[in-house]
Structure 1
Amino acid sequence: MVQEILHSSHLTGSLQPASLRPLPKRRGISRGINLEKVWQANGKMPLPIAFDNVERTMQPIGNNAKYFTTLVGNQVRFTVPPCYPSWTEVPEEQRARLHSIIEGDWSPDEYRAVCAAVDRLAADRYHDYKLKAHNHLKAHEPSRPYGEMSAKD
């Protein structure tokens, strides 16, 4: 009777060790596929983006705000190496590449404010990127007792 229960089809999956269970499907990193589709639909012309200047938050707003955030995140992830402790340590020439994605007729004051908003957004994305990489490495690093050195240390 017990063996019948253990071998029944509805319990077999739950009795497997964790190492044999299939991993749940999770979201992958954003590659900007929807942004690409919207850009293609717009005739490969730059998408209009507005920033909240009324409340002085300078956050992207409007229909294309989520695409802009995705674009900044992808630019940070694919062009800036994660070796810097924080976004403030990233060299200015690498940060300036992000400012080049902003086109438009901005006054100098508006342009500085928009660049500062992009820097804040990029700093958040850089922090998230580094945190995810750190958590991934910690989860997949072989555990060893405290104080034990490996051959590469």
Structure 2
Amino acid sequence: MFVLVRMSADVARSQGGDGEGKGKRNPNLGGRAVGILNTRNKTRNLSLKEITDTKGPIPIQFELRDKQTVMPLGDHAAHWSSYIGEVIRGVPLYPSWLKVPKERKAALITDIETQFDLRPHMESPDWTKINAGIQQHLQKAYNTNKPAFKAQHWFIDPTTGTYNVEKIRRERPENIT
């Protein structure tokens, strides 16, 4: 069987017509194509804030899985994941999650309590497992956020192809410890 496929001239024009793909990659943009930065605003969890402004902290349920993994359940499970990401973006950059001070981790739980009602879980005999699962969620979000933070603030020197450490140290953002 033979199939004839015609390439549209519009496709060739959208790629610059040179047949070399989507555009020139820029190492200072973390390998992303030039011109596609900031196409979306950061999430602000507006629907969650609207709910908590009218009803207070919302209930969240957790399922303890076989390997001590905690899964958020219910109508607000998606809000949970989004809010964890929002909370983590406010944590300064440390070498690893293990180096984040315990006081800061406790403050994150307090912050989460402003949006989600954790009180019933804190009073349950499973709180130790649930808290460990919440810490796992926070750690995963932190480790996911770190590369994005580096891409935003760490620049590769085009002459050497490596990070310009001196420039990074001089222009260090305030929330890096």
TM-score w.r.t. structure 1 length?
0.70
Alignment of 1:7-22 (within 5 A): 14-15=15-16, 18=23, 22=35
1:135 deviation in Å?
A: 3.2
Structure 1 vs Structure 2 CA RMSD: 3.4
The match for 1:60 among 59, 72, 92 is: 72
Instruction: Name the CA distance, whole Å, in 2 between partners of 1:74 and 1:48.
Output: 19
Structure of greater relative contact order (alpha carbons < 8 Å, 6+ residues apart): 2
Q: Pick the structure with more helix per residue.
A: 1
1:52 deviation in Å?
A: 0.3
Instruction: Name the CA distance, whole Å, in 2 between partners of 1:36 and 1:69.
Output: 14
Q: How many residues align?
A: 139
Against the structure 1 CA distance between its residues 27 and 146, is the aligned structure 2 distance closer, same or farther, given a 3 Å change threshold? closer
Opposite residue 64 of structure 2, the aligned amino acid is N
Alignment of 1:18-33 (within 5 A): 18=23, 22-23=35-36, 26-33=39-46
TM-score w.r.t. structure 2 length?
0.62
Against the structure 1 CA distance between its residues 66 and 145, is the aligned structure 2 distance closer, same or farther, given a 3 Å change threshold? same
Q: In the alignment, which residue of structure 2 is the partner of 1:144? A: 159
2:49 maps to 1:36 = yes
Instruction: Name the CA distance, whole Å, in 2 between partners of 1:137 and 1:16.
Output: 33
2:104 maps to 1:91 = no
SS of equivalent residue, structure 1 residue 75: helix
Instruction: Name the CA distance, whole Å, in 1 between partners of 2:74 and 2:125.
Output: 21
Q: In the alignment, which residue of structure 2 is the partner of 1:116? A: 132
Opposite residue 56 of structure 2, the aligned amino acid is M
Instruction: Name the CA distance, whole Å, in 1 between partners of 2:11 and 2:42.
Output: 34
Q: In the alignment, which residue of structure 2 is the partner of 1:70? A: 82
Q: Pick the structure with more strand per residue.
A: 2
1:25 deviation in Å?
A: 6.6
1:69 deviation in Å?
A: 1.7
Against the structure 1 CA distance between its residues 144 and 47, is the aligned structure 2 distance closer, same or farther, given a 3 Å change threshold? same
Q: In the alignment, which residue of structure 2 is the partner of 1:134? A: 150
User: Structure 2 stretches of 5 or more lacking a match?
Assistant: 1-8, 25-33, 170-177
Against the structure 1 CA distance between its residues 9 and 129, is the aligned structure 2 distance closer, same or farther, given a 3 Å change threshold? closer
Opposite residue 97 of structure 1, the aligned amino acid is A
Q: In the alignment, which residue of structure 2 is the partner of 1:46? A: 57
Opposite residue 133 of structure 2, the aligned amino acid is A
Contact 1:72 1:98 in 2 (8 A): no
Percent identity at matched positions?
22
